[in-house]
Amino acid sequence: MKFWQKIYVFSLAIFILIFNLSGIIIIEKNHSQMLKKEVNRSLDEDLGIYLGLNGSRSFLKSFESFMDITVLNNKVLEDFAKNYLKSSSKDTYIEILDSNKKKVFSNIDFKLPKDRIETKSNNPRERNYIIRDVNEKTLLFVTNSMNISNEHYKINYIKDISYVYNLRKDQYIFFVKLDLVVCLIFAVFMMFVSKYITKPINVIIDTTKKISNGDLSKRVEISSKDEMGVLAQNFNSMTDTIENTVEELKSVNSEKQIFIDNFSHEIKTPLTSIIGYSSLLRTTKYNEKTFSECLDMVYKEGRRLEKLSFNLMKLVNLRNDDFDMKKENLKNILNYVVEITEPKIEAKNINLHVKFKDAYVVVEKQLIIMLITNFLDNAIKACEENGNIYLRITTNEDNIILEIKDDGIGIPKEHLHKVKEPFYMVDKSRSRKDNGAGLGLSICHKIMEVHKAKFDIQSKVNKGTTIKVFFNHNL
């Protein structure tokens, strides 16, 4: 059963139960009040009859000495009853019985039941009433006793209250009809309401189906501010996170594949050379010149493999978060890097311009040396003979800025966003000439991630490259 159907059935069942229960309570309450009213009215009328007859007793006592008092009593009671009935409604009956249960007067025109428990009491102060059905009529019997001139009489006041029960029956008939109409209207109305309330759920279900089929761009379009709206917002946020994670995984997987492809390509070339020259040495007669050239090539390609393996180890080690971070003076580190790279600078007769000042940052010293060495080494490779390299340290309110600038060959704009990728080389021929494998800037990027530093590179072809590293003061 669908959720909207559950809401529909549950709401309809609750409504029918409450509506019918309320109707029954109202009808029964109304019936009870009307019945009580009729009982009280009948008791009052019976009391009036009793008081009227009781007033006749003193009149009858004056005739006890010279008349048959029984005959006189019966006559007076009969006349009183007839006179009373003239002013009463047609649904009123009076029955007067003597001590022998013989009728003194009765206007009852229907057969009474034999067992009449209301007439069994002889206490003149006790009035009894009972409601019973007689010949499709509902009658209220009120009975009291009276002693007149030493004669005992039963006076029964009978009221037809069938209309009270007929009214209840009519009310039930009307309520059943009303109940059917109202429940039918409510059922139709509630069907639309249930579907409308659960419509956002169907929207979410449809969206989840599309997402499960691979379309992560789909979002739940619900703008309400209720719980469904909140659920939709949370669902969309979750989907955004999943989509971003999937894109990151795709990117990482793509980078891994590129890394593997580039690694395979980079390692294939020196291995092919080593195997080829080794095979040549094995299969040819000894020739000093050939032998020397082959060994030289095997040595160079072996060194290239060695450098590649060292750089790969650096990348692997940079994934470890366990670094000994200390407060260091960046000026001292730069002076040390300049000192160790001085032979390469002098070999190309490069003009190095430095502008250092004391600047303290929390770093892992050896990693920062590696970082600056890589940047400076790339600048040296990019410069021609008699080129210029500028090294300086500046600060602003938030950062200590390390700047490395050269006037070398530069990097084309379309290649700038790729220089951080492992094995990526703008000029492959120049990189291989220098035994490079395109891992330098990738290592630098990892080092900056370790230090939570920011990296900015700007370059123009044949104009040079400027690299800025931003270290946060608070780190």
What's the angle, vertex CA 409, arms to CA 369 and CA 310, rounded to 5? 35
Rounded distance between C-alpha atoms, residue 122 and residue 107, angstroms = 23
> What pLDDT, on a 0 to 100 scale, did the predictor assign at position 315?
57
| Helix or strand holding residue 94 (H, E) | strand 92-97
For the chain, domain boundaries: 3-168, 219-317, 322-472
> What pLDDT, on a 0 to 100 scale, did the predictor assign at position 74?
76
3 in Cβ contact with 201 (< 8 Å): yes
> What pLDDT, on a 0 to 100 scale, did the predictor assign at position 89?
80
> Would you say the CATH fold of 322-472 matches that of 3-168?
no
> What pLDDT, on a 0 to 100 scale, did the predictor assign at position 58?
56
Q: Which residue has the tokens 């309520």?
A: 175
Does CATH place domain 3-168 in 3.30.450.20? yes
What architecture is domain 322-472? 2-Layer Sandwich (3.30)
| Helix or strand holding residue 380 (H, E) | helix 365-382
In this prediction, the residues of the chain whose per-residue pLDDT falls under 70 are 55-70, 118-126, 149, 255, 258-270, 304, 307-308, 310-322, 415, 417-440, 473-475
> What pLDDT, on a 0 to 100 scale, did the predictor assign at position 60?
52
Rounded distance between C-alpha atoms, residue 162 and residue 143, angstroms = 19
pLDDT, one tens digit per residue, over 32-44 is: 999 999 889 888 8
Sheet holding 128-134, edge to edge: 103-106, 92-97, 151-160, 137-148, 128-134
Alpha-carbon torsion angle 10, 14, 20, 21, nearest 10: 150
pLDDT, one tens digit per residue, over 313-328 is: 665 666 655 677 889 9
**CA–CA distances in Å: residue 132 to residues 41, 265, 273:** 17, 111, 123
> What pLDDT, on a 0 to 100 scale, did the predictor assign at position 423?
46
- Cα 1 versus chain centre, distance: 21
394 in Cβ contact with 471 (< 8 Å): no
> What pLDDT, on a 0 to 100 scale, did the predictor assign at position 435?
44
pTM of the model: 0.51
> What pLDDT, on a 0 to 100 scale, did the predictor assign at position 431?
44
Rounded distance between C-alpha atoms, residue 393 and residue 374, angstroms = 17
